[in-house]
Amino acid sequence: MRAQLGVYANLRPVAVFPALVDRSPLKADRLEGVDVLIVRELTGGLYYGEPRGREDGGASAVNTLRYSAAEIKRVARVAFESARQRRGHVTSVDKANVLETFQFWKDIVTEVHAQYPDVALDHMYVDNAAMQLVKAPKKFDVIVTGNMFGDILSDEAAMLTGSIGMLPSASLNAQNKGLYEPSHGSAPDIAGKGIANPLATILSAAMMLRFSLNQPQAAARIESAVQSVLAQGLRTADIWSEGTKKVSTREMGDAVVATITKTITKS
């Protein structure tokens, strides 16, 4: 579906809501003010490279890590444009010390950076990036990386927020149209039980309003409502702790809707 839709840029914002600082395994002083945007290349790299599959009658297997200059350039531009709207800093994550493909990635990102002199760029090996996301997450603004590294790092970064159930995502094509979904996918193991956290899905809808429908005020209203219900102490099972109120999927969703409705009525 991603390849057919041409949604090559996956945006995963990682923002720590003040009310959930205590739900992360990290210390609170490392989390306050964390606001990272991970830009993951989504339709290339190891997940799509050819040749792939079993070989030698099943005695070996192969996957191919391949990127073209065009694929890297377009996702790099998304990262630099995003940084211009944020704090002006891009960290490109690679494994250039071992893999020629990622030395090529590094070279192309550096080339694109010349078009964005107002944005700072640094390069970081993926193993160090994984460590720094835990050690000093506030140092990151925008992270741009390949398909597999982006998949892994964004799931790691979800733990900064307390739960992957808090992580929305947008997968965009060249016209800023695309696919909006929670980073955790459909979670079939808990379907129908009323315990899933709907906030990542709700926040994904806010991203759709902001990026595809050009309605930033409506997006901000949804995001503010999510922050409000969390401040009220409402929690689904994945983010619940002593002293807060455990609610179902429907109850959490209804609370967000009620808060938005109240805001609209007042305005």
Catalytic residue annotation: 47, 95, 127, 151, 155
Partnered with residue 93 across adjacent β-strands are: 124
Separation of first and last alpha carbons in the chain: 40
> How many Å apart are CA 78 and CA 174, to the nearest integer?
9
- Assign residue 206 a region: left if phi > 0, alpha if psi is -120 to 50, beta otherwise? alpha
Residue 115 gets which letter from DSSP?
Answer: T
> How many Å apart are CA 172 and CA 233, to the nearest integer?
33
- Residue 251's closest CA among 207, 200, 195, 188? 195
DSSP sequence for 15-27:
E--GGGGGGSSS-
- Asked if residue 183 lies in contact with residue 155, where contact means CB atoms within 8 angstroms, the answer is yes
Under 8 Å CB-to-CB from 149, ≥6 apart: which residues?
40, 93, 94, 95, 126, 129
Partnered with residue 54 across adjacent β-strands are: 61
Other beta carbons within 10 Å of 88: 14
Place of tokens 């002593």: 242
Q: 41 in helix, strand or coil?
A: strand
Q: 134 in helix, strand or coil?
A: helix
